Amino acid sequence: MAILKIARMGHPVLQQKAEDVGDPSAPEIQRLINDMNETLDDVGGIGLAAPQVHERHRVVIYYEPGRTDEEDAKELTVLINPIIEPLEDEAEVGWESCLSLPGLTGAVPRYTHIRYTGLTPEGDAFEREAHGFHARVLQHECDHLDGVLYPMRMSNMAYFGFTEEMRGRGAPARGEGPDGDDDGEQEDEGEEQ
């Protein structure tokens, strides 16, 4: 196990498309998952994608929001070769932050209801649905696999800035979502992804 260095915005590894994992049980993939787990626990974020630790594999890990009632009992999910499909056109704008953009935050429109599929570390296929903040985390993490960082998804850069400066800013104005019908709800949990 090792704590890995996290790439910051501007590093080319964050702009490249990651490659599908052929064999999730391969030792280098299992080692990567363990190291990503340790790295995420060390920095205290909510999710991490392999390109953020300089590895071009389609692997993300995240703590599923709202999975349990107890704050300390969050369950880590490992997702390999994930594919996201929006189930509704509805999107909403919410605050996001990212371990690759330390100290910054921005309001990002995301689909509110998605289905996602992928492989477990054991190589089993799985499928889940996600709503709200859970769906937001998935879209943020999977974007990393395609070289997309959250500012590239923003519709109004007035809502991008340093977290310390943005604190106390209200929710983004209505109509910022891609389809203009977001409810402006602020969902950020203050954890970086």
Kindly list the residues in this chain that would bind Ni ion in the complex (CB under 5 A). Answer: 98, 193
Q: Which of 55, 141, 176, 192 is catalytic?
A: 141
Q: For residues 23 and 146, which CB has a smaller minimum distance to Ni ion in the complex?
A: 146
Least distance in angstroms from the C-beta of 98 to Ni ion: 3
**C-alpha to C-alpha distance for 5 and 36, rounded to whole angstroms:** 10
Specify whether 141 is catalytic.
yes
Q: For residues 51 and 118, which CB has a smaller minimum distance to Ni ion in the complex?
A: 51
Q: For residues 115 and 153, which CB has a smaller minimum distance to Ni ion in the complex?
A: 153
3-state DSSP assignment of residue 163? helix
Whether the CB-CB separation of 87 and 154 falls below 8 Å is answered with no
From the list 176, 86, 187, the residue with the least C-alpha distance to 130 is 86
Q: For residues 5 and 174, which CB has a smaller minimum distance to Ni ion in the complex?
A: 5
**C-alpha to C-alpha distance for 94 and 186, rounded to whole angstroms:** 5
Least distance in angstroms from the C-beta of 150 to Ni ion: 7
C-alpha count within 13 angstroms, C-beta hemisphere, residue 4: 24
From the list 36, 114, 16, the residue with the least C-alpha distance to 78 is 36
Catalytic positions = 141
